Structure 1
């Protein structure tokens, strides 16, 4: 039986890593939540999601 040797090459999928990080944030928020499920608003807050209207209103600030 021949076994292929794994060389020191590292492949990173940046999109997958970002998704894993977001899932981790949701897991942390869910474990800290007092309620049974996170509300849609809380999920948006954890994932730093805003609506198009909120983004548009925030464009003039800075």
Structure 2
């Protein structure tokens, strides 16, 4: 029997020193706003951590 469940992954920002040093413009309904937000620049973006604390069906992933 196949079991389908969701997994929660987080990027290992602490281990790679990722910073919010960039800013990007905010878009609303395809129009540029005058507002900017910080953008996280991930170093090694494929280094992910499986967050089992946020998973209600973690026993299936084990």
Which of the five TM-score ranges fits, normalised by the shorter chain?
under 0.3
Higher helix proportion (structure 1 or 2): 1
Higher strand proportion (structure 1 or 2): 2
TM-score by length of 2: 0.18
Please say which structure displays the higher CA radius of gyration: 1
Asked which structure has the greater RCO (Cα within 8 Å, sep 6+), the reply is 2
TM-score by length of 1: 0.18
